[in-house]
Structure 1
Amino acid sequence: MVFPSLEQPRDTYHLLDRFSFPTEDGFHDSIAVSSKSGDYIVAAYSLIVDAIFLQVWVALILLAIVLTNRFGRREKNSFLAEVYYARESIFEVFMVSAYRIFTDPRVKPIWIGLMWLVVALLGTALQKAMSVIITPSAHTGNGAPVSFDRIYIPLPPDDPTLQIVTFELEAPAYFRALGTSQVANESTTANILVDQITLPGNGPNDSPRLRIDFGYNISSLEFGLQNYQELKLFMEGSCYTEYGWIAGSANEDGIWTDVYNLWGDESKSFSVNSNDAQEPRLYVERRSIDPEPSGNNSFVFIPSTLGRKSFTNSTDPWYKTSNALDERGRATILNGKPVLVCWQKDWWSYKDNNATIAKVDELPGLETFAKGLGGVFRNLLINPKVADTATHLGSLALKSATTSLGITIDGKGSSMLSDLQRILLVSYISTQNLLLDTTLYPNDTRAVPNFIDKENRDVADFIVYGSEISTLSIRFLIVIPALAIGMLVVVLLLEYWGRESIRNFQYQLSKNFVAHYKATHSAAENGEAVPQNADDNNGASPAAVESKPGATTTTGPAAATDGPEPDPVRR
């Protein structure tokens, strides 16, 4: 997709309106906000995703506690109680597991500690990765629904004065497309099919003719439509060099002139000469002012390159030079240049059905489109876009003109094919941006009426793009908070369901610590070696018990005194 180089004004689109955002995967239920607000929302949802993953982790720990307490040996599970106390931080579980694997008293069997070590490490990595992977799904693009009141399309007037004004209003869109074409990447240029073929010639000395076939297609996604995913606009055409229309050439006082009888008709005589402008020029003539009902329109490109100078020699049909050089070592571009006779046809395709631009209402399923945007496209594309592009570009239509130094060009680096490719690329970009450009006209339209019927709001069924717009997925905005609430409920239910199991784990943890403390204290008083494990169970590390809320520790002489076992510790 190619976007206009001009940023959309703020009043050309709506924010906080629900709409269908077109993507390659289909239409997404979306809402548009400012880019700044979008950044804040995405950042907040990143924290929610992080919290969801943590709740999943806590739920797994609680489930493990409940299942182990019901089907395992309770006295072996004090290590799992430590995992429970560290549940609010996955990395803390990793640290506890590492401590109990490599520091006495060690967890037994060792594979339990290793399992939690690996699981916690993977969980920590996944928690960080999930925010990076999932959160971008919230952002679907940079588009917003267009403001109907800002859509403007000049209505071609009958007044010649207003016709000139209309041309002036339309020209900036072509110049924006020209600017974009200068930085177009290969993926953009690859969308335009151009094929040059050599044919038997009717030129001087039976020199061969050249035929150039071209075409491109643009999807509803590239137009920014909110509906009709399968709708496509196709354009195809062809040009060929024609020497037979040259009626004659003349040289008066060093000024070369070529005269053509267009379509072989003497009444349609057209002449160019070396004084047309310093740089090369291209002229466009339509065969008929009225568009053809069939959608097949003919036109001709007439080059004015003769008499210009070149520091390099060329054999191209439009830039062929003489062998003689002037005093500055420059060759002269010869007269007798062929015109390029062209035709172009545009049509719509929708669900295997085709129709011309003027008859889009004949396509099944496009009745609403035909009443709204179909009329807009008919107005903008009824004339051949390739010819209109060259006309509006004027002196910038030819690639050679943009690199010329006065009357001197690089003949070898110029060609008829590269000139046509330049026009086709600008035509492609301009066509793709037809709807986006309707909001970029100046507020002062100088009395040129608007083609848009103010009662027909169906024409606003498209979106505009801008760097100040952030498009967010409605589904993402709803699902993520719902998941967060759902996981919180699951955790609360598991804590309620496993409250007895949790108390048993807390009791076993306190009991093991007391036993370990007694054994250590007794050995110290008797001068014996301090045992590293008070029993054959998973003795808890004193640090873990002391640092965890809800765990009761016993210190001082009372700890060494035999007495009744402490009551289960309640959280």
Structure 2
Amino acid sequence: MTFSQVSQPGATYMTWTWFSFPTPAGSINAIAVPATFRNEINSIYTLLARSAVVNVWIAILVCGMYFRLHARMRNNRTPDISDASCIMMSVWNNKVSPKESLLRLLHSATGEHRQEWWFYPLGFALLAAWVANIVAGIVIPGGLFIGNGAPVNPSSIYVPSVDTELSDSSNLIKALVLDAPSSLRAVGSVLMSEEMLGEKVLVGQPVPRGKTEDGQPVQQISYSFTVSGADLGLQHYPQLTLNATGACITDYSWHLETRNITVDGRPAHQDIYQTISGNVSASIYDGRAPSATFLAWDVHLMNVSWAAIVSSVDRGSSAPSSDPWYLTGPNPQYNRSDPSAAPYMVLPARPVLLCWQNDQWSYLGRTSDISRLSSEALPGLHLSDGLQKVLLHYLRAPRIYNLGNDLGMSTLQSAALMAGSFFNADDSSIRTDLRRLVYAAYIATVNTLTDTTLHTPADPRKASVPNMVLDELGRVLPGVADFVVYTNNVVTISLLHAIAIPCGALGSWLLTLLLLNTTALKVVKTMDIAVLFSGLKEEFPNAGIALDGRSGKWVFTPIQSTA
């Protein structure tokens, strides 16, 4: 699974190659083929599936007809020329079409025949064969196509190295620039996939946690999501799971002071926040749209603390708001004649959003952190060193923190509500901003491996920033490419179905062939219309069989001697 607004380049995946396709239930042996062949493959396998059903039906019919004929021969009964036998013969001669046989049965059977013991069993058998023929053509080929994934082309994987010991500052900046588009793609996919994300990501409602000494409300919001190995595209370990849980609380203690400043000749405010990294300011100088500064500390691989300092002070609003980040008061500079002024303004001293996140990896009941995705910590998990290196590189810190830094002015949902020089604070809240970030973090996490193929230079070996998945000789590290990418340009075919359906069709054909040619059941072939006519011709050499044009029936006619 992947979330992307970008078409997967054709050079980043391989077709007509065997691979393991990850699903929540486990990996499936598969092959990816160009989507242009889907209709042809579907048609071929539909014919094969239906032919298998017809052959099985014929085998069943052969057995039924044989027992009826054998019973009459065993009892030395006279030749059977009853209407019932004619019906049976009609059914047999239309054996390749259960539908046609059923229609012939219903059309030919009289009221007396409908009272016979064989009528309803035969009718239901024909109906079942007809339905099975239809269903087989839909269901069986349907199981053939299992997705739109293909194995990644190893040469397309590019992970910009940010090793501070080996890279200079310019390389670090270039690497961050190369990674930024993945954050933009993630947040751009939120709106398109919001309904699906609501089922996979939980962002709770604000829970009151009392008030500060000066009466400011304190809120807490929890969030969580789960990403599986199948979501990441891991070929061999789809049941590897990342469980991310976090919570945020409004904290007013970081606010140090509010300074009075002047902006464009008008009085304004500048909030100063004291952090472990130094003081951070927030004012209208940060831009007309609300924005946020993100900080992270105590990065311990499983538990990470991070914070968001909002810059919403003095932003004009068309409506009042009581949300802690967007609490408004009357705008003292409001003038109805000034269309650029808003009636309300966000007050200073907005709280910091103080958060923690716990990332726990699990596999087959055992848990670990991102640094130990190996068989030692998680028995049975044999991720390659290269894949472990890539996952650690991107998921060591919460993606939500990286997103906050990468997105800049477009981080907050409230920024998207700007209309000219002001926004609607009543439609903005901490929860909507956090939900947007958590949704984007989930998407960015799911897209972690796919994104390594979407910023590939023309030749990764000549990239200005080193590729951390290449060894000293420029070769891709073993096992790094053990994942799939997704694109509508391919269809994934289950090898089990691809092999089983033709084998089933061949097996059913051989079964029917053997029954009708090498066993006692071959006597049933005497009911073929061609065999019947041939037998009549041998039995009555001096008679001819012709179609009476007036009655529309076949009649025996004597052959006139030419002597």
TM-score (norm 2): 0.85
1:134-213 matched pairs, under 5 angstroms? 134-156=140-162, 158-195=167-204, 196-202=206-212, 205-213=214-222
Query: How far off its partner does 1:6 sit?
Result: 1.2
1:363 pairs with 2:373: no
Corresponding residue SS for 1:434: coil
Alpha-carbon distance change, 297 to 209 in structure 1, aligned in 2, over 3 angstroms: same
1:350 pairs with 2:359: no
Query: How far off its partner does 1:193 sit?
Result: 2.6
Look up the match of 2:556.
555
Corresponding residue SS for 1:233: strand
Moved more, 67-76 or 383-392: 67-76
Corresponding residue SS for 1:49: helix
Look up the match of 1:255.
268
Query: How far off its partner does 1:141 sit?
Result: 0.7
Query: How far off its partner does 1:5 sit?
Result: 1.9
Separation of aligned partners in 2, 1:484 and 1:24: 30
Match of 1:452 among 433, 446, 469: 469
Alpha-carbon distance change, 169 to 92 in structure 1, aligned in 2, over 3 angstroms: same
Separation of aligned partners in 1, 2:425 and 2:370: 39
Corresponding residue SS for 2:192: coil
Look up the match of 1:54.
54
Look up the match of 1:537.
none
Q: In the alignment, is the contact (CA less than 8 A) between 2:384 and 2:478 conserved in 1? A: no
% identical aligned pairs: 27
1:92 pairs with 2:100: yes
Alpha-carbon distance change, 366 to 51 in structure 1, aligned in 2, over 3 angstroms: closer
Look up the match of 2:66.
66
1:318 pairs with 2:332: no
The one-letter amino acid of 2:71's match is: F
Look up the match of 1:339.
352
Number of residue pairs matched by the alignment = 520
Q: In the alignment, is the contact (CA less than 8 A) between 1:101 and 1:110 conserved in 2? A: no
The one-letter amino acid of 2:152's match is: V
Match of 2:526 among 495, 499, 503: 503
Separation of aligned partners in 2, 1:507 and 1:342: 84
Separation of aligned partners in 2, 1:239 and 1:98: 72
Look up the match of 2:11.
11
Look up the match of 1:222.
231
Alpha-carbon distance change, 511 to 100 in structure 1, aligned in 2, over 3 angstroms: farther
Q: In the alignment, is the contact (CA less than 8 A) between 1:202 and 1:242 conserved in 2? A: no
Look up the match of 1:518.
none
The one-letter amino acid of 1:354's match is: T
Separation of aligned partners in 2, 1:365 and 1:350: 8
Query: How far off its partner does 1:506 sit?
Result: 6.9
Alpha-carbon distance change, 11 to 506 in structure 1, aligned in 2, over 3 angstroms: closer
Q: In the alignment, is the contact (CA less than 8 A) between 1:65 and 1:502 conserved in 2? A: no
Alpha-carbon distance change, 113 to 299 in structure 1, aligned in 2, over 3 angstroms: closer
User: What do the CA deviations read for 1:94-113 (whole angstroms, capped 9, x no partner)?
Assistant: 2332342259xx86965545
Alpha-carbon distance change, 349 to 500 in structure 1, aligned in 2, over 3 angstroms: closer
Q: In the alignment, is the contact (CA less than 8 A) between 1:29 and 1:473 conserved in 2? A: yes
Match of 2:426 among 391, 408, 412: 412
Separation of aligned partners in 2, 1:452 and 1:366: 24
1:417-566 matched pairs, under 5 angstroms? 417-443=431-457, 447-453=464-470, 454-496=475-517, 497=519, 498-503=521-526, 555-557=556-558
Moved more, 464-473 or 454-463: 454-463
Look up the match of 2:27.
27
Q: Which runs of 5+ in 2 are unaligned?
A: 337-341, 538-546
The one-letter amino acid of 1:142's match is: N
The one-letter amino acid of 2:314's match is: G
Look up the match of 1:83.
91
Look up the match of 2:125.
119
Q: In the alignment, is the contact (CA less than 8 A) between 2:62 and 2:524 conserved in 1? A: no
Separation of aligned partners in 1, 2:52 and 2:217: 72
Match of 1:296 among 282, 294, 303: 303
Separation of aligned partners in 1, 2:396 and 2:527: 82
Separation of aligned partners in 1, 2:239 and 2:296: 32
1:378 pairs with 2:401: no
Q: In the alignment, is the contact (CA less than 8 A) between 2:98 and 2:130 conserved in 1? A: yes
Q: In the alignment, is the contact (CA less than 8 A) between 1:295 and 1:356 conserved in 2? A: yes
Separation of aligned partners in 2, 1:284 and 1:344: 14
Query: How far off its partner does 1:19 sit?
Result: 1.2
Q: In the alignment, is the contact (CA less than 8 A) between 2:114 and 2:120 conserved in 1? A: no
Query: How far off its partner does 1:414 sit?
Result: 0.5
User: What do the CA deviations read for 1:76-95 (whole angstroms, capped 9, x no partner)?
Assistant: 53432232222232233223
Query: How far off its partner does 1:482 sit?
Result: 1.1
User: What do the CA deviations read for 1:393-426 (whole angstroms, capped 9, x no partner)?
Assistant: 1111111101102330101110111111111110
The one-letter amino acid of 2:272's match is: V
Separation of aligned partners in 2, 1:351 and 1:296: 22
Corresponding residue SS for 1:363: coil
Corresponding residue SS for 1:206: coil
Separation of aligned partners in 2, 1:228 and 1:206: 51
1:272-291 matched pairs, under 5 angstroms? 272-287=282-297
Separation of aligned partners in 1, 2:400 and 2:412: 13
Moved more, 69-78 or 172-181: 69-78
Q: In the alignment, is the contact (CA less than 8 A) between 2:293 and 2:309 conserved in 1? A: yes
Moved more, 218-227 or 70-79: 70-79
Alpha-carbon distance change, 460 to 332 in structure 1, aligned in 2, over 3 angstroms: same
Query: How far off its partner does 1:45 sit?
Result: 0.4
Q: Which runs of 5+ in 1 are unaligned?
A: 515-541, 560-571
Query: How far off its partner does 1:202 sit?
Result: 2.6
Corresponding residue SS for 1:228: coil
Look up the match of 1:565.
none
- In terms of Rg, which structure is larger? 1
User: What do the CA deviations read for 1:481-505 (whole angstroms, capped 9, x no partner)?
Assistant: 1111111111112212223344378
Alpha-carbon distance change, 367 to 131 in structure 1, aligned in 2, over 3 angstroms: closer
Look up the match of 2:412.
398
Look up the match of 1:532.
none
The one-letter amino acid of 1:330's match is: P
User: What do the CA deviations read for 1:372-401 (whole angstroms, capped 9, x no partner)?
Assistant: 311211111112321111111111111110
Separation of aligned partners in 1, 2:31 and 2:289: 50
Q: In the alignment, is the contact (CA less than 8 A) between 2:320 and 2:327 conserved in 1? A: yes
Alpha-carbon distance change, 557 to 2 in structure 1, aligned in 2, over 3 angstroms: same
Query: How far off its partner does 1:472 sit?
Result: 0.6
Separation of aligned partners in 2, 1:16 and 1:507: 46
Q: In the alignment, is the contact (CA less than 8 A) between 1:93 and 1:116 conserved in 2? A: no
Alpha-carbon distance change, 356 to 507 in structure 1, aligned in 2, over 3 angstroms: closer
Q: In the alignment, is the contact (CA less than 8 A) between 1:173 and 1:437 conserved in 2? A: yes
Separation of aligned partners in 2, 1:511 and 1:180: 72
Separation of aligned partners in 2, 1:166 and 1:159: 11
The one-letter amino acid of 1:428's match is: Y
Separation of aligned partners in 2, 1:511 and 1:365: 72
The one-letter amino acid of 1:556's match is: T
Alpha-carbon distance change, 107 to 162 in structure 1, aligned in 2, over 3 angstroms: same
Separation of aligned partners in 1, 2:156 and 2:533: 73
Q: In the alignment, is the contact (CA less than 8 A) between 2:2 and 2:486 conserved in 1? A: no
